[in-house]
Amino acid sequence: MNYQRIYRDMEEVRRRLDRWESTCIHSLERCKYTARDIAHYIGKIKELETLNGKLEQTYLHTKAVNGNKREQWLVNAESLSSTKSTIEDLKKMKQELSARRCEREMIISDQLTGDSDKPDVGFKRGQKEAVAWYNRALGFRIESGHGIKFIFVNVDQICPDREFSFSIRHCRSNDCYSLLDCDPIFEGTEELLDELNRTNDLFKFVRVMRGKFQEHSSKGYKQPASNIKA
């Protein structure tokens, strides 16, 4: 037998086994690093999946909020349109009421000056409408004659049917009001009449007189001596 040849073959086998072992060890090291990288990337993937879920929830929430805001915007736009329409209607109503008030003020002024001889049927009808309007709106009635008489009820809480009244007349020659009658009489009518002649605010004078009647009724004043201007 050729022992040398056998020895060489065994050495060759041993070298191959050493190379194979070295290759296996190297491959195992590479596999270990690869497994570590895979585990790292799997963790990253899970983090990205969690982040994606949160982003999806945020998107859905934002979408819902935007939808609610759009609905609210539509409601606000409709409400604004309705408000504008209401404002326009109120402006028209205000203009109509102002025109009616001016018409009724002219009628009352003519009654105060005693100018009631107008043959115009429309004027007489307007006069009746004015009296009815003041009766409904201000809670008193008006009677015309030598001047104009304002009659109040529901002033005395104990006796609501009791009537309180005063009569005034406007003189065009000197542009002054005069108080013809006051029932019951109370102190301070001269000052109120002076203020009326200064301001020419008849409607404020009527409100103040009614307030004075209420004050007179609540305090139970006795009638002082007459201080009516002729």
Burial (CB < 10 A; 0-12, 13-18, 19+), residue 155, is buried
Domain segments of the chain: what residues?
1-81, 121-219
- Which CATH number does 121-219 carry? 3.30.457.50
Give bridge partners of residue 182 from the DSSP assignment. 166
Mean per-residue pLDDT of the chain: 78
Which pLDDT score, from 0 to 100, does residue 220 have? 62
Task: Name the band, by pLDDT with cuts 50, 70 and 90, for residue 179.
Answer: very high
Q: Which residues are CB-neighbours of 205 under 8 A, at least 6 positions away?
A: 177, 192, 193, 195, 196
**141 vs 125: CA distance, rounded Å:** 17
CA atoms of 206 and 210, how far apart (whole Å): 6
Nearest to 145 by CA among 129, 161, 165: 165
Which of the given ranges, 70-79, 104-113, 126-135, 199-208, has the highest pLDDT on average? 199-208
Quick check: 20 pLDDT over 90? no
Q: What is the pLDDT of residue 192?
A: 93
Tokens matching residue 215: 């004050």
pLDDT at residue 89 is higher than 70: yes
Q: Is the pLDDT higher at 106 or at 121?
A: 106
pLDDT value for 167: 93
pLDDT at 168: 92
10 Å Cβ neighbour count for 136? 8
Q: How far is CA 185 from CA 10, 138, 152, 210, 213, in A?
A: 149, 22, 14, 12, 9
Q: Classify 84 as helix, strand or coil.
A: helix
